[in-house]
Amino acid sequence: MVKMGLDEFGRIDILLNNAAIRPHKPFLELTVEDWEYVRGVVLDGAFYCTHAVMPSMVENNYGRVLFFTGDGAWAGGAQRGHVSAAKMGLVGFSRSLATEFAPNNVRVNVVSPGSIDTSRANPEWYVESRPPSASGIPLGARAKPTKSPPPACSWSATTGDL
């Protein structure tokens, strides 16, 4: 994937890490395999992609790396401990990378959109395990898909500052 991008464009300036899966399982039923699968998709996948593009960004003294975490990283949620742990891992990973690669003009940020009002966000188990969707949301409602996520890629391409 990275080789194709470099062959086609000569450099890679922006990496968007947005891998996610939405498994839910009570903690006491969670297996090591469940834990490792979620960690592999969310955290390990971000590591592999970032590790692959960072040499090009350092060489060009320019890069933008974005990690999407979502509100579950911060708020947790019943039956989502393995997902929340992996997503919070991205937060720590991004902070470390931001510090390490700042001298190379590589900015690393986390984008954490709140809950988006889609059918995927409202499965039966989710509704039963959470308070009403608007509780705890300052504006009193979830974002609509047309309003979110914020234009993170265009922000990165234009200014590099989030």
Amino acid at residue number 18:
N
Cα separation, 116 vs 97, in Å, equals: 28
Q: How many residues does the chain have?
A: 162
Helix (H) or strand (E) holding 8: helix 2-9
Q: Tokens 């390990």: give the residue.
A: 44
Q: How far is CA 55 from CA 3, 8, 19, 71, 96, in A?
A: 12, 17, 21, 30, 16
What structural domains and CATH numbers belong to the chain?
2-152 (3.40.50.720)
Instruction: Please give the model's pTM, rounded to 2 decimal places.
Output: 0.77
Contact criterion met (CB below 8 Å) for 93 and 45: no
Contact 109, 120 (CB under 8 A): no
- Residue-wise pLDDT tens for the chain (162 aa)? 889 999 999 999 999 999 888 788 999 999 999 999 999 999 999 999 999 999 999 999 999 999 998 877 777 778 888 999 999 999 999 999 999 999 999 999 998 877 666 665 555 545 555 555 555 666 666 667 665 555 555 555 544 444
